[in-house]
Amino acid sequence: MSAVLEIEGLRKTYKSRRQGVRHALDGFDMRVEQGQVHGFLGPNGSGKTTTLRTLLGLIRPNGGRMAILGQEVPAALPAVVGQVGAIVESPQFFPHFTARDTLSLLAGAGEVPQIRVDEVLELVGLRDRAGERVKTYSLGMKQRLAVASALLKNPKLLILDEPANGLDPGGIREMRTLTRDLAASGMTVLLSSHILGEIQLICDSVTIISLGRRVAFGPVDQVLAEHSGGAVRVRLEAVTDLPAAADALSRAGVAVTAHPDHLMLAGVEKPAQVSRILAGQGLYVSELAPVTVDLESVFLELTSTAPVPGQHRQVDQSTRVGDAGQSGAVGGGWGA
């Protein structure tokens, strides 16, 4: 499978006389394969939007390499931009133009046939409100308009930064369906979102960024499996057998946590091995269930951004690669 988007070692540094140097992107890597829906996750201030802006030529990087559709950017951006549709951060449009005018002017600037304007308005559900000024739109409607503007070019790569922001539940579902349909039609979609349930539902693969560096990447299932920790829940027919079972498993090298009615095991590569050990001791399992993790818990673990009672986590208070698990260990803000 060929890569539609490649980023290697991307760096962006902001310098301030008062606050020193901040590395918004600190050697960030990313790869998005053709035809995939790729989730791009990260806490606030982790560098997601900086990455997208840099990729699209709005911000100059301090180092690294980027390529879209096999062409190096930003040098080849004018050549490939016709195949890239993007919305970056919150939708921003001139408030006194109508949605149709807004799209028509963009189509004119990008040499896209005007007939496409009505097609995308229909697609995002704004057909009947297209003649109204953007300033009268709700956030969700502006979001739809932003998606319409990104789709106007019928791009090969679609970059959506928080597309579900402000959408009602119906709109979120429509956006999910739309994204899937677009991917099914061969379009590659890069989706940045904080709605991790959506990402898990829609995306084939993900990249998680924290403090400007990639902390996890790959197919969603693989990322979840890598971070489930091989946890297994065991119940026995007789609760009174739990201490004996815990003892047997501990002697076999399995990490065991005892609970009143079950045992939690960690680091189990093959659950069948648990069943074999216990049967050898005359103990019979009534439940042997690998514990699945969701993307949200993986995200919170990898970025160390899980809320801690009594603490107020600050933006940029997150984790560095290799520091996972040390919640709040690194303040990634301005520093020397």
Q: Which residues bind another protein (CB under 8 A)?
A: 53, 56-60, 74, 77-78, 81, 86, 88, 91-97, 101, 105-106, 108-111, 149, 153
Minimum CB separation of residue 83 from another protein in Å reads 12
No. of helices (H) and no. of strands (E), the chain: 11, 16
Minimum CB separation of residue 66 from another protein in Å reads 13
Give 88 or 295: the residue with its C-beta nearer to another protein.
88
Nearest CA among 74, 75, 121 for reference residue 101: 121
Long-range residue pairs from 20-24, CB within 8 A, at least 24 positions apart, any chain:
20/334, 20/335, 20/336, 21/334, 21/335, 21/336, 22/333, 22/334, 22/335, 23/211, 23/212, 24/50, 24/212
Task: Find where tokens 């609970």 sit.
Answer: 259
Minimum CB separation of residue 59 from another protein in Å reads 4
Give 117 or 268: the residue with its C-beta nearer to another protein.
117
33 in Cβ contact with 4 (< 8 Å): yes
Minimum CB separation of residue 31 from another protein in Å reads 22
Give 83 or 275: the residue with its C-beta nearer to another protein.
83
189 in Cβ contact with 156 (< 8 Å): no
Amino acid at 248: A
Give 97 or 244: the residue with its C-beta nearer to another protein.
97
Minimum CB separation of residue 138 from another protein in Å reads 17
Tokens of 51: 């990455």
- Tell me: cis bond preceding 74? Omega within 30 of 0 counts: yes
Give 95 or 325: the residue with its C-beta nearer to another protein.
95
